[in-house]
Amino acid sequence: MLKGKHIILGITGSIAAYKSAVLCRLLVSAGAEVKVIMTPLAKQFITPLTMATVSKNPILVDFFNPENGEWNSHVKLGEWADLYLIAPASANTMAKMATGVADNLLLTTYLSARCAVAVAPAMDLDMYAHVATQRNMAQLKQDGVHIIEPGSGFLASGLIGKGRMAEPQDIVAAVEAIFAQSEKCAEASEIENPEKKKSLEGKRFLVTAGATIEPIDPVRFISNHSSGKMGYAVAEALAKRGAEVTLVSGRTAIDKPQGVEVVNVLSAEEMYKACVERFSEMDGAVMCAAVADYTPQVVATEKLKKGEGDMSIALKRTKDIAAELGSKKREGQVLVGFAMETENEEQNAAGKLVRKNLDFIVLNSLRREGAGFRGDTNIVSLIDSREKVDLPLMSKSDVAEHIVDKIESFL
């Protein structure tokens, strides 16, 4: 059951950490690959050397390796894992998880993890029974975290009561049950909805993403804060449903999505050419890129020298790629745009919908917490000529799934 599964074992500062070595050994002997993250305090309870030996992997504690500066990417770890198991989970760590505090690698990885998460609490009986701990555990449960109940018995404090971390073999059984349940759910959803996964097979889509770069001279440029995350998530969601995707990407700092052809461009003009060339072969296009509206009239061939006074740079308008594709759109093609507004949001978005001949527009508001450029979450509304649907705060990949659902409704 655990063969080939990727498990992150998180260890927090609790005396029960001594059981984590046995737990890790059981997981490894059941065929799982285990990477261990420890909080700084956990190292006082069990040594990294012990955990590295039983897990057969280096231990992760810090955001980067202090010796060589190598970055421990919590995002990559979160993507790697099939399950994030935190055992023992202290009251402190659970409280931070419940409120989204991310002040160590174990917690940032929790916030990045897309996989199932389980915690095995361990603490003194009064801490466990405290209303705050119970409230945090209820919150975690509501957030979809599996709680592996502690047992009752002798506690490190000398008291007797509930709070002992579940025994390693019971935690392994709980982990197996979590995998069995998620496999059953995946099978059931395939049976219920077999066409959902590959519903876009044979369809071709163009997606733009990221920021364009408008050169001023050989070393300077004009650009913006777009991370490209939203566009990359849309490209990935389309590809997951079987579509052939060409992603025309401006500057981003993220990895290429799987199964997608990427065409890298720099300026708005290059992005325009790449899109116009390809659009006629497409069933649709999603314009997520943050394209510069203006570009320098002349690009200096040598680095501009500073003088005594101020200077200004003459700018000219760039071409509107979405509007150009909108004017060329034929029957059966779907065109989706984005709008990022700071005022008169709906009115401006509705104007763009008509002006650019879009089928629908995704409105992001920069004013709302959790929405915008660099984060992994977004709050958007999907607006077409008939309706406006407001989506709550969710991950950019979930927003992408909603966008692709709506695209399908137009095909």
**Which residues form the catalytic set?**
224
Say how far apart CA 67 and CA 51 lie, in whole Å.
20
Least distance in Å: CB of 348 to ligand C5P?
7
- The candidate with the shortest Cα–Cα distance to 167, out of 46, 16, 368, is 16
State in angstroms the smallest separation of the CB of 411 from ligand C5P: 19
Task: Say whether 187 sits in a helix, a strand or coil.
Answer: helix
Residue nearer to ligand C5P on the CB measure, 121 or 228: 228
Cβ-Cβ contacts under 8 Å for 304 (sequence gap 6 or more): 216, 217, 220, 311
Nearer to ligand C5P, 45 or 360 (CB): 360
Q: Which residue number, 244 or 320, has a Cβ lying nearer to ligand C5P?
A: 320
Taking CB under 6 A as the binding criterion, the range among 5-13, 25-33, 117-125, 335-343 that sits at the site for ligand C5P is 335-343
Q: Is 320 in the site for ligand C5P (CB under 6 A)?
A: yes
Contact 286, 322 (CB under 8 A): no
- Which candidate, 366, 374, 361, 363, places its Cα nearest to that of 334? 361
Q: How far apart are CA 42 and CA 40, in angstroms?
A: 6
Position 351, amino acid: G
Quote the CA–CA distance of 154 and 126 in Å, as a whole number: 13
Separation between Cα atoms, residue 152 and residue 162, nearest integer Å: 4
The residue (of 137 and 287) whose beta carbon lies closer to ligand C5P is 287
CB-based contact 81:34 (threshold 8 Å) = no
User: Shortest approach of ligand C5P to residue 203 CB, angstroms?
Assistant: 20
How far apart are the C-alpha atoms of 57 and 50, rounded to whole Å? 11
User: What residues numbered 348-387 form the site for ligand C5P, per CB under 6 A?
Assistant: 352
Q: Strand 294-296 vs strand 315-317: parallel, antiparallel, or unpaired?
A: antiparallel
What stretch of H or E contains 85? strand 83-89
Question: β-pairing, 360-365 with 380-383?
Answer: antiparallel
Instruction: Check binding of 208 to ligand C5P (CB under 6 A).
Output: yes
Q: Does 321 bind ligand C5P (CB under 6 A)?
A: yes
Compare residues 14 and 212 and give the one whose CB is closer to ligand C5P. Answer: 212
CB 403 → ligand C5P: shortest distance, Å? 12
Q: Which stretch binds ligand C5P (CB under 6 A): 100-108, 169-177, 221-229, 336-344?
A: 336-344
Q: How far is the CB of 125 from ligand C5P (least distance, A)?
A: 56
Q: Which of 119, 234, 237, 287 contacts ligand C5P by CB under 6 A?
A: 287
Task: Give yes or no for residue 229 binding ligand C5P (CB under 6 A).
Answer: no
Nearer to ligand C5P, 59 or 322 (CB): 322
> What string marks each residue from 116 to 145 as x (binds ligand C5P by CB under 6 A) or -?
------------------------------
Of 11-19, 142-150, 199-207, 288-296, which part binds ligand C5P (CB under 6 A)?
288-296
The DSSP code sequence of 290-351 is B--SEEESS--SSPPPP-SS-----EEEPP-HHHHHHHH--TT-EEEEEEEESSSHHHHHHH
235 sits near ligand C5P (criterion: CB under 6 A) = no
Of the candidate spans 2-10, 44-52, 182-190, 315-323, the one that interacts with ligand C5P by CB under 6 A turns out to be 315-323
User: CA separation (Å) from 93 to 9, 99, 117, 316?
Assistant: 14, 10, 14, 53
Under rule CB under 6 A, which residues in 244-283 are in contact with ligand C5P? 268
322 binds ligand C5P (CB under 6 A): yes
Nearest by Cα to 361 from 348, 372, 373: 348
Q: Which of 14, 109, 318, 333 binds ligand C5P (CB under 6 A)?
A: 318
Indicate whether 399 belongs to the interface with ligand C5P (CB under 6 A): no
Stretch that binds ligand C5P, among 217-225, 332-340, 367-375, 397-405 (CB under 6 A): 332-340
Min dist CB 351 to ligand C5P, Å, is 9
Please select the residue that binds ligand C5P; options are 172, 285, 291, 350, rule is CB under 6 A. Answer: 291
Q: Give residue 310's region: left, alpha or beta (phi > 0; psi -120 to 50).
A: beta
Chain contacts with ligand C5P (rule: CB under 6 A): 208, 268, 287-289, 291, 318, 320-322, 337-339, 352
